[in-house]
Structures are given as structure tokens and as C-alpha cells.
Amino acid sequence: MEVLNFIIPFIVLLTVVVFIHEYGHYYFARKYGVGVTDFSIGFGKEIFGINDKNGTRWKFCLIPLGGYVKFFGDRNVFSQEEQEELLKKYNKYDRNKLFVTKPLYQRSLIVFGGPLANFILAIIIFSFIYMFSGKDFTPAKISEVQENSPAFSSGLQVNDIIMSINNNKIRSVLEVSTHINASTKDSVEIEVLRNQKELSFDIIPTEILSEDNLGNKVKRKIIGIKISPLNNEFNKQKLGPTKAIYYAVGETWFVTKTTLKFVGSMFQGKGDSSQLGGPIRIAKITGQVAQFGVIAFLSIMAYISISLGLINLFPIPLLDGGHLMFYAFEKVLGKPLSQKTQEGFFRIGLILLFSLMFFTTFNDLKDLGLF
């Protein structure tokens, strides 16, 4: 029964974010007249499905870890000769439905539509939360500075009000630990308001292994302070649509920027690769978060949607970003890359993806105590 508490929320979350991603591809494909034969949630054997009036088969498949949209006459075309050979197989009406006959900008938008839809979903979810549940705007006041801590050594004091961290404005007590832990620098720049004067401090955090609110072991950065609401009052406000969208876009951008910095730090050998997780860890966290209610579940859905959109934009063949990379070469060269070159890239992409899957699965199993 406990396993179902993890699996069911995970499948629901994954179904929604994958559907939205694939619908982004589908929307632009239909907009530019490309035929779509299959819209699948999952892979493998079909469980059930329906056909629409446009000839698209909408279906759910046995393995719910992803999805795809299949275009009419879908196949890789590497040269002008191959395209001409492909066109001979279809009449004039059907040729107009082929993906390969569309201008480069339309093909690019069709591919980019998937990640774009994921970012839009996140913005919609955050906006909904800020309008109906509210967003916290409680100023963060330091209520305690631990002796011999990085904060103590740097000169932070009780009653200092934290204004910004690494040039990111702090609007809530909840944002302090988020921005400290999101920092990829050795030191954290903290600006505070003290007796109506703004002061700046560079602090080197201490990294510890602790448990998060869900009971998972995570590495955290601390500077040795405790935060309390200014005047001991929380200021949670329900926002109007315009402000909600504004802050939702800001949150989406912050998560995107932080993720990219984290990936960059791993390539530099500074990031903690043990924090990378795969489907098992995502399922575990989703199940844990779902127990806290709808708002918490929607929040994790928004973060996963951003991650899915961002990962798909990485310039790795087999991902959307890989196709966009090929289109960039096509724009510069005036023709597609040769079949041999593309196949070489696809092999590299396959190796990278399998390596990533192996690594994240290993981390997941290690997290479960199996290694």
C-alpha cells in the first residue's frame, strides 16, 4: 500500500507534464499543417486509445515513462536526393503534411514547442498558487547568530534584516535558505539592513548532511543563523492575475537559472553529483510531497515540468535540443548535416543518455540504501 502512495502520484504527475510537453509539439505541428498520426503517453504496448477526426491516434501505453508525437511520413531525411525520393511517394495533398517539407523556422518551433509548453505549465501553476493560496512576503530578520559560525565570524548580528543574497532580492523568510543552497560560488554575498544602513558581507557557508522536511538525507549549506518573521508576523498575500504571473515568471526563471548553474558547477567538478536523481527518487519525493496536499503537489509538478523542459533543450541528439542544434547547423551551412555526421552525433547522444540514466539510477538505489 505504501508503494502505491508513491507510484500513483508519480504517474499522475508524469502523465500531466509529459502530456503538456507532447501537446506543445502537437500544437505547432497542427498549426503549420503537419500531419500527426500518433500522440502517445508512455511507450510499448498500447493499453487503450481513440482516433480523432484528423486521423491522430491518442493512446496510453504500458510503460508510462515518457511519450511521443509521431508525424505523418516520419523519417530522417539527410539530403536533397532523399527528400525528393520521399516526396515521390506522396500526392500533392499529402506532401503538404510532411514535417520535412516545412520551412526551417516552422520545424524549429515544432521541436521547441515541447519545452516551451513545460515552462508555460509551470508559470500557470505558480500563478494559480499565488492567486488562490498566496505568496509569502514576510521580511527575513535574523533572530540568532550561532557563536563560531561563518555568520558570526563575518559580522552578521541579531535583528539584521536580510535584503538580498547574491544580488537576488529576498522577499520572504522562505527564500533565505533557498538562495544560500542555490549558490554555486564558494562564498555567499549577503546584504542586510541594520539601523537603516545597508551592509554587505561575504560569507563562506559550511556544508552539512542533514534531513529535509520529508526525511530525505540531503547536503545543505548553512551559515549559522536562525531566521524569524519581522515583528513575528507572517505576511502571505493572495495576488491578482498580473502580479501572480509576474512572480510566476520570476520563479520559473530562478529555477531555470539555478539548474543551469548547478549543471555548470558539476562540469567544473564543484557540484555535488549525488544530488542528481532519476525516476525512483522523483517518485519517492512526489509521493512524500503529495501527502502535504494539493498545493504542495502542484508545486512539485511545476518544478518537474521546468526540469523536463530544460533537460530537453540540452544540445544532445535524441533530445529536442539536439534537433535544434542540427537546425542551427542547417541554417549556417545552408543544408542539413550529412547522414554520417548525424548518425555519429546520435551515437554520442545515445551514450550520454544511457550514461546519465545509469548514473541517476545508481544514485536512486544508493539513496534507498541498496549500495
Quote the pLDDT of residue 78. 47
> Does residue 363 carry a pLDDT above 80?
no
Cα distance between residue 309 and residue 303, in whole Å: 10
- For residue 268, give every residue at least 6 positions away whose Cβ sits within 8 Å of its Cβ, in sequence order, or none: none
Lowest mean pLDDT among 81-95, 118-132, 291-305: 81-95
> Does residue 119 carry a pLDDT above 50?
yes
> Does residue 198 carry a pLDDT above 80?
yes
Cα distance between residue 159 and residue 52, in whole Å: 63
| Domain residue ranges in the chain | 2-132, 136-237
Specify the pTM. 0.86
Nearest to 139 by CA among 227, 226, 230: 230
3-class secondary-structure state, position 337: coil
Please compute the mean of the pLDDT values over residues 272-291 and round it to a whole number: 75
Mean of per-residue pLDDT scores for the chain: 86
Lowest mean pLDDT among 118-127, 133-142, 143-152, 257-266: 257-266
Pairing of strands 188-194, 197-203: antiparallel
Contact call for residues 300 and 308 (beta carbons, < 8 A): no
Please compute the mean of the pLDDT values over residues 128-138 and round it to a whole number: 93
Quote the pLDDT of residue 96. 85
Per-residue model confidence as pLDDT tens digits over 172-184: 888 888 888 888 7
Residue 22 appears among annotated catalytic residues: yes
Give me the percent of the chain exceeding a pLDDT of 70.
89
Per-residue model confidence as pLDDT tens digits over 43-69: 999 999 999 998 899 999 998 888 999
> Does residue 26 carry a pLDDT above 80?
yes
Quote the pLDDT of residue 286. 83
Contact call for residues 315 and 321 (beta carbons, < 8 A): yes
Cα distance between residue 183 and residue 202, in whole Å: 12
The region, left, alpha or beta by phi > 0 then psi within -120 to 50, assigned to residue 197 is: beta
Greater pLDDT, 168 or 371: 168
- For residue 235, give every residue at least 6 positions away whose Cβ sits within 8 Å of its Cβ, in sequence order, or none: 136, 137, 138, 139, 229
> Does residue 332 carry a pLDDT above 70?
yes
Cα distance between residue 365 and residue 371, in whole Å: 7
Please compute the mean of the pLDDT values over residues 20-30 and round it to a whole number: 96
Provide the b/e sequence for 119-154 (b: ≥16 CB within 10 Å): bebbbbbbbebbbeebbeebbbbbeebeeebbbbeb
- Cα–chain-centroid distance for residue 65? 16
> Does residue 111 carry a pLDDT above 60?
yes
Cα distance between residue 47 and residue 65, in whole Å: 14
Greater pLDDT, 218 or 297: 297
Cα distance between residue 217 and residue 7, in whole Å: 21
- How sure is the predictor about 317, in pLDDT bands with cuts at 50, 70 and 90? confident
Q: Which of 8-22, 226-240, 345-359 has the highest mean pLDDT?
A: 8-22
Per annotation, catalytic residue among 2, 22, 211, 233: 22
Per-residue model confidence as pLDDT tens digits over 215-256: 667 778 889 999 888 767 778 899 999 999 999 999 999 999
Contact call for residues 19 and 67 (beta carbons, < 8 A): yes
- How sure is the predictor about 342, in pLDDT bands with cuts at 50, 70 and 90? confident
Lowest mean pLDDT among 58-67, 72-81, 355-364: 72-81
Contact call for residues 165 and 183 (beta carbons, < 8 A): yes
Quote the pLDDT of residue 216. 65
Cα distance between residue 224 and residue 157, in whole Å: 11
The superfamily CATH assigns to domain 136-237 is PDZ domain (2.30.42.10)
Lowest mean pLDDT among 99-113, 224-238, 305-319, 356-370: 356-370
User: Looking only at Cα atoms, what is the longest distance across the chain?
Assistant: 79
Task: Tell me the torsion sign for CA atoms 252, 254, 259, 264.
Answer: positive
